[in-house]
């Protein structure tokens, strides 16, 4: 006989409000099927226009083979800070010096000219401070916004995200804009040539592939969630380049947009829907919104808020605290709370104090931690379903996945949860490894530049013999 609401214990009642976060393996497999279909649509030349997952070919055709050499500049733009790096590569040895520059809010919301003038200023300052002169230095640009690439060094911005909204850049080639800005600086000491534009997922993969030949997938679990992987040209209907060897290309999936056509509605909870409604891009990036660092804290907050309204949590707490305000519960709190391993709940109490919740009980702490574990596990499992889809598609006996982003780096359980779930979802016999990639955006961009130069030199060598 089903339990009537009056007879339910508090924990049974809580379960009614959170059961949507617990998905079965069968459900994750259904998600994988859907993702695979959506990726095929994205790769198809006539379906791409309507596809949510854009599967942008990056024009990166080869991974580093360890023979790369030289001195490269790299830029990393795609968050709050902007970095310039000088990367010296001598086969397996990599030496990096970098400098972080602030991008003021007025520039993030100004014109494209102002943004690229600011970037050029920072590059010139960096060149001066590092005493670089009288040479041409190839530059790799990590530009982590969705771009449609027309060549390795030609990328048109599709849309701004992450707080940037500079006028006159959408649909423009960002390399051209950077070169023009450098010309305006009229710097005499160094000639900078942009030889590659990549996003952070690609940089992450390149950086790890330099020391691990099995690495063919890059994953970002930071502010956003995205992945790239190596695909055979024969599967890329969209491809308009040549078919010379190597007949493969890295695909920047931009899979954060998975579900935007409603195909993931069967797993979205009331909390996911509310988060989306109040976001700056309703109906967009629905898969990303269930996974990444920009949103996870808010999903937890909405759940805690609901339980509190139902009288199941914080019964004697002040209803006017931060917990009841949008965006005030950060994803780093989820990591901190889940790092509590005893009945003292030191971190949990610190977080609750910080967000102004008063008069909480130990049982409240227990429930808060439980909600965090449910939301983070679903995120880790959904990301795992994405990776398992790629691993099964590529069907290689051994595969390393390079991962970067603060969520993966700092959450205490993300790595382990992912390893277990991927194991469960991939075809029997396939082996994989998740490896933290170090400085993907910097070293990775320099390596793309290095590979481009190596291939260019090889070509020139072939022509002259």
The option from Mg ion, ligand ADP, none interacting with 233 (CB < 5 to 8 A, set by class) reads: none
Residue from 149, 207, 331, 347 binding ligand ADP (CB under 6 A): 331
Q: How far is the CB of 10 from Mg ion (least distance, A)?
A: 41
Nearest CA to 331 out of 300, 302, 366, 306 is that of 300
Q: How far is the CB of 407 from ligand ADP (least distance, A)?
A: 4
Q: Which pairing describes strands 135-143 and 147-151: parallel, antiparallel, or unpaired?
A: unpaired
| Stretch of residues binding Mg ion (CB under 5 A), selected from 54-62, 194-202, 244-252, 332-340 | 194-202
Q: Which two tokens stand for residue 168?
A: 């006159």
The option from Mg ion, ligand ADP, none interacting with 335 (CB < 5 to 8 A, set by class) reads: ligand ADP
Residue from 172, 406, 436, 455 binding ligand ADP (CB under 6 A): 406
Q: Which of 83, 207, 439, 441 is catalytic?
A: 83
Residue from 63, 124, 294, 434 binding ligand ADP (CB under 6 A): 294
CB proximity list for 442: less than 8 A, separation 6 or greater: 74, 76, 83, 85, 87, 96, 98, 142, 203
Q: How far is the CB of 295 from ligand ADP (least distance, A)?
A: 8
Dihedral sign from CA coordinates of 210, 201, 53, 397 = positive
Minimum CB distance to Mg ion smaller for 200 or for 298: 200
Torsion of CA 255, 208, 293, 196, to 10 degrees: -60
Does residue 53 interact with ligand ADP by CB under 6 A? Answer: no
Minimum CB distance to ligand ADP smaller for 158 or for 214: 158
Outline where DSSP puts E strands in 125-232.
Answer: 135-143, 147-151, 154-157, 190-198, 215-221, 225-232
Q: Rounded CA gap, 465 and 460, in Å?
A: 9
| Stretch of residues binding ligand ADP (CB under 6 A), selected from 92-100, 130-138, 252-260, 402-410 | 402-410
DSSP 4-49: PGGG--HHHHHHHHHGGG---HHHHHHHHHHHHHHHHHHHSTTTGG
| Stretch of residues binding ligand ADP (CB under 6 A), selected from 225-233, 330-338, 361-369, 449-457 | 330-338
Residue from 57, 293, 386, 442 binding ligand ADP (CB under 6 A): 293
376 catalytic residue (yes or no): no
Q: Rounded CA gap, 182 and 170, in Å?
A: 20
What residue spans of 310-436 are helical by DSSP H?
331-338, 346-354, 362-394, 406-410, 414-425
The option from ligand ADP, Mg ion, none interacting with 231 (CB < 5 to 8 A, set by class) reads: none
3-state secondary structure of 458: helix
> For residues 209-238, which are near ligand ADP according to CB under 6 A?
222-223
The option from Mg ion, ligand ADP, none interacting with 438 (CB < 5 to 8 A, set by class) reads: none
Does residue 454 interact with ligand ADP by CB under 6 A? Answer: no
Residue nearest to ligand ADP (CB): 222
> For residues 62-101, which are near ligand ADP according to CB under 6 A?
78-79
Q: Rounded CA gap, 58 and 78, in Å?
A: 17
CB proximity list for 157: less than 8 A, separation 6 or greater: 145, 146, 147, 169, 170, 171, 172, 174
364 catalytic residue (yes or no): no
98 catalytic residue (yes or no): no
Residues near ligand ADP (CB under 6 A): 78-79, 222-223, 293-294, 330-332, 335, 405-407, 410-411
Residues near Mg ion (CB under 5 A): 200
Catalytic residue numbers read 83, 144, 200
């Amino acid at each position: 006989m089903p339990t009537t609401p009056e007879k339910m214990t508090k924990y049974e009642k809580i379960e009614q409000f959170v059961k949507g976060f617990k998905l079965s393996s069968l459900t994750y497999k259904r998600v994988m099927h859907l993702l695979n279909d959506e990726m095929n649509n994205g790769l198809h030349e006539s379906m791409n226009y309507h596809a949510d997952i854009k599967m942008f070919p990056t024009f990166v055709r080869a991974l580093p083979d360890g023979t790369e050499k030289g001195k490269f500049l790299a830029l990393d733009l795609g968050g709050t800070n902007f970095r310039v790096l000088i990367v010296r590569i001598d086969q397996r040895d990599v030496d990096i010096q970098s400098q972080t520059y602030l991008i003021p809010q007025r520039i993030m919301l100004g014109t494209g000219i102002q943004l690229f003038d600011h970037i050029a200023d920072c590059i010139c300052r960096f060149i001066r401070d590092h005493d670089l002169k009288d040479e041409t230095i190839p530059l790799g640009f990590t530009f982590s916004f969705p771009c449609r690439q027309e060549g390795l060094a030609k990328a048109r911005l599709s849309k701004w995200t992450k707080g940037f909204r500079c006028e006159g850049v959408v649909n423009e080639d960002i390399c051209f804009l950077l070169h023009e800005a450098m010309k305006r600086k009229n710097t005499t000491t160094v000639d900078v040539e942009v030889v590659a534009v990549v996003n952070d997922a690609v940089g992450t993969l390149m950086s790890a592939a330099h020391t691990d030949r099995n690495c063919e997938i890059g994953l970002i679990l930071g502010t956003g969630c995205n992945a790239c992987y190596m695909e055979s040209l024969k599967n890329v209907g969209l491809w308009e380049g040549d078919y010379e060897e190597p007949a493969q290309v890295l695909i920047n999936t931009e899979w954060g947009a998975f579900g935007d056509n409603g195909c993931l509605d069967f797993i979205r909870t009331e909390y996911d829907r509310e988060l989306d409604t109040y976001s700056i891009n309703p109906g967009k990036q629905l898969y990303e919104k269930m996974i990444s660092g920009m949103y996870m804290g808010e999903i937890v907050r909405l759940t805690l808020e609901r339980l509190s309204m139902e009288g199941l949590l914080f019964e004697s707490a002040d209803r006017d605290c931060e917990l009841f305000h949008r965006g005030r519960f950060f994803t780093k709190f989820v990591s901190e709370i889940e790092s509590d391993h005893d009945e003292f709940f030191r971190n949990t109490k610190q977080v609750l104090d910080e967000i102004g919740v008063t008069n909480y009980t130990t049982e409240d702490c227990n429930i808060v931690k439980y909600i965090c574990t449910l939301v983070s596990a679903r995120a880790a499992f959904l990301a795992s379903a994405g990776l398992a889809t790629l691993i099964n598609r590529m069907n290689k006996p051994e595969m390393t996945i390079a991962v970067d982003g603060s969520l993966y780096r700092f959450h205490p359980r993300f790595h382990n949860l992912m390893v277990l779930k991927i194991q469960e979802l991939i075809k029997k016999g396939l082996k994989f490894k998740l490896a933290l990639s170090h400085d993907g955006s910097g070293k990775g961009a320099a390596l793309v530049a290095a590979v481009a130069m190596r291939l260019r030199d090889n070509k020139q060598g072939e022509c002259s013999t």
